[in-house]
A and B are shown apart, each in its own frame.
Chain A
């Protein structure tokens, strides 16, 4: 990776973070959405401690999947105003830098959201882990990256369609099902301590590598699709 690519990526991330810091559009809606999902799930199920260990993984990732979609819909739509994306396309800078910047920016938003939401989950569902918690951290990191990389790619694709906000979940969810299913299983395995999450974590790692590679290879094509 050349230094100009790194510099460009840093510029992109800094721009996204600054915009977000000034408006807080995305982060606030994401946070509120996730809180609502948690509260509604908790109303509807009222699980016992054992049950909630089993269920929390599913609820947790479903909440994040949907709030990630909320964030992703905004992340590219912002670039359409004043023709920023078109300006980027005719500039000589590498499209990979733009994509990497967006991915890392989204990753930071979602990771921040997770940091705030995890205590809330523990509180609402009365969670305590039987298995080692550091494995959960690994699942969180890989799972978030898997969601964000595909999400950023498909969001870039969906802004080229007529019904943008509707298209993103339609494109993203089918491709993400295997990853989400694995994240849920891995989280459940750690919380209940019944099985080792290591095969799931390996699976997630491979998934992240394959789809990161595919996204980087195809991003330029999608950006310049005419």
Chain B
């Protein structure tokens, strides 16, 4: 282990994680407004009557209308004359709010002050307009899912490599990526329902992505159980064969659930600051996952070295148990406070990450003890 590089990397990842969490949790100012008029395309500046011009800055680009309307365009804000008018440089398309028009009410379309990248560094994500605060769970949920998928893919590649070359290194990578991937997918499976409780009014929906993840989680639990209970010597081969089956099963589990009803609306990130917060968190968690894998790899290496000398005491497993406070299940809809759910999801995510790291620490302590005993004797 390169001992000088390691603390530096840990520091860097911690900084990235806190920065990402800051961007995700701090309430960014709202820069989205609505206009309820019909406008035609025009080459000269157009002044649009809007609901509010709070936080709109002249000179910044504005994204007009929603993506589904097919007439979305980006124009520069020339001036903000008063609290209810915005002037844009020109309009390439007519807008009548046909797509997001409220039922029975006036037809409207959105105007978003599109924060430029140069000002993004200190621009936390604003609250999403339809889902509210609870949408912020997304910034932890999606990176965790990406990490889990990446790690499971690494597991598949390593397993194939092991079946082909029978290298102990590939087997080690397979074991580690499955274990760390399981930690990240546990986070996905816990933050998902917390979000669903508020957004869909139900903890669980048999929705393709969710179900696929649950099956994936079950598959890799059985993978780790197999690794730990197979006859000595055969566990690597059997586990590698199971990994191939697990990988083949993913597209099937996605398709099998496509036939079922319940499709939640896809999440559209309506503000560039949301995309930025997601990007930073994605980067932070991928780096975090990489760091854990690296750490776990060194640990596994030491473990195997010790095991080689000291076989009979080296197999004790890390079991990932999760306890879900049952009280959550008895909440009624009227009392839902999205902010509580938001914090519950963030805390649950960290409880799992830190819990896993503590388990690893315990393993380190055990290995150290064994090492000392071996050196003494």
The answer to whether A and B interact is yes
Is B6 an interface position by the 8 A CB rule?
Answer: no
A30 to B297, CA, bound (A): 45
* Pairwise interchain contact B234-A181, C-beta atoms closer than 8 A: no
- Quick one: which of B163, B242, B249, B256 contacts A203, CB cutoff 8 A? B256
B219: chain A residues at CB < 8 Å are: 174-175
Number of A-B residue pairs with CB-CB distance less than 8 Å in the complex they form: 89
B8-45 contacts to A, CB under 8 A, are none
* Pairwise interchain contact A214-B248, C-beta atoms closer than 8 A: yes
**In the complex, per-residue mask of B238-249: 1 if CB is within 8 Å of any chain A CB, else 0:** 101110111011
A225: chain B residues at CB < 8 Å are: 233-234, 237-238, 241
Is A7 an interface position by the 8 A CB rule?
Answer: no
B249-266 contacts to A, CB under 8 A, are 249, 252-253, 255-257, 259
**In the complex, per-residue mask of A96-111: 1 if CB is within 8 Å of any chain B CB, else 0:** 0000000000000000
**In the complex, per-residue mask of A186-226: 1 if CB is within 8 Å of any chain B CB, else 0:** 00000000000001100100010011001000100110011
Nearest CB of chain B from residue A125's CB, rounded to whole Å = 23
Is B68 an interface position by the 8 A CB rule?
Answer: no
Is B157 an interface position by the 8 A CB rule?
Answer: no
Total interface residues on A, CB under 8 Å, equals 31
- Quick one: which of A170, A173, A178, A210 contacts B256, CB cutoff 8 A? A178
**In the complex, per-residue mask of B214-247: 1 if CB is within 8 Å of any chain A CB, else 0:** 0100110110011001110110011011101110
A160 to B163, CA, bound (A): 17
A177: chain B residues at CB < 8 Å are: 215, 218, 253, 256
Is A157 an interface position by the 8 A CB rule?
Answer: yes
* Pairwise interchain contact B229-A163, C-beta atoms closer than 8 A: yes
- Quick one: which of A157, A173, A211 contacts B248, CB cutoff 8 A? A211
Is A167 an interface position by the 8 A CB rule?
Answer: yes
B153-171 contacts to A, CB under 8 A, are 163
**In the complex, per-residue mask of B166-186: 1 if CB is within 8 Å of any chain A CB, else 0:** 000000000000000000000
Give the 5 A-B residue pairs with the shortest CB-CB distance, closest first: A225-B237, A178-B256, A225-B234, A174-B218, A178-B252
**A interface residue numbers (CB < 8 A to B):** 150, 153, 157, 160-163, 167, 170-171, 173-175, 177-179, 181-182, 185, 199-200, 203, 207, 210-211, 214, 218, 221-222, 225-226
